[in-house]
Amino acid sequence: MPSSARAAAPSAARSAPSTPSPAAPPRTTPGPDLLLAADRRPDRARRDLTHYLTLGGPAGRAGLPTTDELPTPDSVGRFNHFTGSGGASIYWTPTSGAQEIQGAIRSLWATTGWERGPLGYPTTGETTTPDQLGRYNHFTGSVGSIYWPPGTGAHEVHGAIAAR
């Protein structure tokens, strides 16, 4: 699916492999996949639920799930979308674990092609900058990050500048 379609409807569910589906109403409780419906992988389900709860669960930054856990189009990872302010998601891969991404950073990442774009998967959760004014996520691809400082909005940083 074109990244523009996902960016236009950030809370819309992605279906395997990448066909859009109508936005689902927010759940009133975490979805079955997020809780422990993964009988085949209860170890991963517990880790993902633990990560969601560290973000505050339904009352936290991520908000309520709008999708069950779904495979990513490249079949490397898994994700859930949430109602958090400006949109929120948790992406999981075997190498980087569960990482949250939200708001303007998530919106910019979506315009680059999500995990199939040049940035790849998030390797950090959304983190506060050292000056306590902005936020950022680091990513697997092209030594890249997205930073969001107040006043200038989210922007990508790549290559030698990102490596500093």
Euclidean distance between CA atoms 139 and 118, whole angstroms = 9
127-128 and 97-102 strand pairing:
unpaired
Euclidean distance between CA atoms 30 and 49, whole angstroms = 9
Paired with 20 in beta bridges are 14
| Regions of the chain with pLDDT less than 70 | 1-48
pLDDT of residue 44: 53
User: pTM higher than 0.75, yes or no?
Assistant: no
pLDDT of residue 164: 72
* Closest to 31 (Cα-Cα) out of 6, 54, 49: 49
pLDDT tens-digit map of 20-61: 334 444 445 455 444 433 344 445 555 667 788 888 888 888
pLDDT of residue 45: 52
Each domain of the chain, given as residue ranges in start order, spans 3-9+24-163
* Positive or negative torsion for Cα 62, 64, 69, 70: negative
Paired with 101 in beta bridges are 89
pLDDT of residue 88: 93
Euclidean distance between CA atoms 92 and 72, whole angstroms = 9
Distance of CA 103 to the CA centre of its chain: 10
